[in-house]
Amino acid sequence: MNNKEKGKNELEKLLKGNKNFVNGCPTAKNMCLETLKKFAFHQEPYAAVLSCSDSRVVPEIIFDCGIGELFVIRVAGIALGPNVIESIEYAVKKLKVPLLILLGHDDCGVMKYAKDNYPNMTKDFQSIMSAVYPVLDKKEDIKCHNFFAMEHTKWVETTLTDKSKIVSNAVKNNDLLIAKCHFDHSTGLVNLI
Ligand SMILES: [Zn+2]
């Protein structure tokens, strides 16, 4: 089984974990000090997750996971910058995660702010806006923030594989599966896009 196939299995496991969360029957056990002690000097996450910093989007909880399972990079609006790209590269190259989840979500404040201000560059939050505006450059007529978030998640995948040789080579060599997902606050469901 190559790493990409492992990634598919891990994705299925995480989507099943999300169903546990939605159904109110989480099973994660790895949340105690004993687990942390086991991983005191090493880590073996089986997935990296690029998630928004939004307080309602907590990957470990919505995927029913515990300590040591996910390598999580959280940044407002899943805005892709150099530190974010290198964090993903670290997970792929050093930790050899077989799965990368790009997790956008409903009602994202960054998408709303960008929609309100586009095409003007704002005084604040410039690096985040610079990472989000390219989607509006292509599709100025986007009305719905949630649709915008999904389009942005697709843009993140394209841009990440364009900018990162480590990531694009891993995908090409069947070492990495990238899954684009969208979290719906009203249902708790993570859907593939
Ligand atoms: Zn957000």
Q: Tell me what pLDDT residue 114 has.
A: 96
Average pLDDT, the chain: 96
Q: Tell me what pLDDT residue 141 has.
A: 78
Tell me the CATH class for 3-23+46-192. alpha beta
Assess whether pLDDT exceeds 90 at residue 29: no
pTM score, two decimals? 0.96
Q: What angle do CA 175, 151, 182 make, to 5 degrees?
A: 65
> Please, which residues have CB less than 5 A from ligand 1, an ion?
52, 54, 108
Ligand 1 centre distance from Cα of residue 109 (Å) = 5
Average pLDDT on 49-76 reads 97
Assess whether pLDDT exceeds 80 at residue 139: no
Ligand 1 centre distance from Cα of residue 127 (Å) = 15
Q: Tell me what pLDDT residue 137 has.
A: 93
Ligand 1 centre distance from Cα of residue 57 (Å) = 8
The model's pLDDT over 78-133, given as tens digits with 9 standing for 90+, comes to: 999 999 999 999 999 999 999 999 999 999 999 999 999 999 999 999 999 999 99
* Beta strand pairing call for 177-183 and 70-74: unpaired
Q: What is the DSSP string of 164-180?
A: -HHHHHHHHTTS-EEEE
Q: What is the DSSP string of 109-173?
A: HHHHHHHHHTTSPPSS-HHHHHHHHHHHHH-TT---HHHHHHHHHHHHHHHHHHH-HHHHHHHHT
Q: Tell me what pLDDT residue 1 has.
A: 86
Q: Tell me what pLDDT residue 63 has.
A: 98
